[in-house]
Copies of this chain bind each other. A is one copy, B any other.
């Protein structure tokens, strides 16, 4: 009896996007899954994450992670189930969190920190890609460790892309810690969600007011300025925040989605001199430097979820073949909260 051959569909990088990526930059490829070696196991992906940072890996530049290679599958956060195993630490039926998204099947020997067993009885498995995963941890460590928000403080906090996966969590952690929060987002519906569901104090639609009015909008809500800016957008948002920072304010540089698809040279903030006169600290960070906070994060976040203090939304796209479209949606602001692709069952 010969074993049935198993095929996996994968999304490959067909060419490096110039400016805003298009579906033509991606290619759906069918490959045969190789046989398992000793110590390896086979995972069938169920969920995958698309995140703005992936745009950076599509460029051929030195960065904190190597660029994606043309003709190779993309990578990214995923959750799947083990369907075959030659590894006695990973059993068939186990659910695992990994970094080999953008494909239906993957093989691992379980070494390294990229594969973690998760408990489907604790939470819906896709939460480990969002609120309980690196997305949540990014918001948590960014606002608490980088921006150093103080508990029971009277701080004022500005968050851009505030209805996004990371932003919405950052907003709510700031609220839990007693801060006053203003958020920027890109639609009326998202403004409403931020005010009614996430419970922040002020929210505005930057597309409606125009980017040049962001600074005044923040000033209207907080005339004495803001203590913390959690930056997911960069560009004019960052400049507007710098305009409004209080003395000794802190800016956590998490992402700059406004810059990722530019074809011209970006223009940095024209008012950076204020960083001197107002003694500002701007600090960039990457979540993977801060895995030491995972336990603390899980404890706090589970508690907050249990207490009903944390609201979040998922935007789900069905089918691996639609993963490029889901990724493109991120830059069009078509997601509220975490953007996920359901690629299996």
Residue positions of A touching B, CB distance < 8 A: 56, 63-64, 234, 238-239, 247, 253-256, 259, 265-286, 289
Contact = CB atoms under 8 A, between A and B. Distances in A.
Given A266-B271, A268-B270, 9 more contacts: A56-B277, A64-B277, A239-B268, A253-B276, A254-B276, A256-B272, A266-B272, A275-B283, A280-B283
Contacts of A283: 275, 279-282
Nearest to A231: B276
Given A279-B289, A283-B280, A289-B279, A270 B273 contact: no
A277 B247 contact: no
Given A277-B286, A279-B286, A64 B247 contact: yes
B279 A284 contact: yes
Which one of A56, A268, A276 has the greatest number of beta carbons of chain B within 10 Å?
Answer: A276
Chain A's interface: helix, strand, loop or mixed, by majority?
loop
A272 B268 contact: yes
A277 B63 contact: yes
Given A239-B268, A267-B267, A256 B273 contact: yes
A274 B265 CA distance: 13
Contacts of A275: 253, 282-284
Contacts of A259: 273
29 contacts: A64-B247, A234-B272, A238-B272, A239-B268, A253-B275, A253-B276, A256-B276, A259-B273, A266-B270, A266-B271, A266-B272, A266-B273, A267-B268, A268-B269, A268-B270, A268-B272, A275-B282, A275-B284, A276-B284, A279-B284, A279-B285, A279-B289, A280-B283, A280-B284, A281-B281, A281-B282, A281-B283, A281-B284, A282-B283
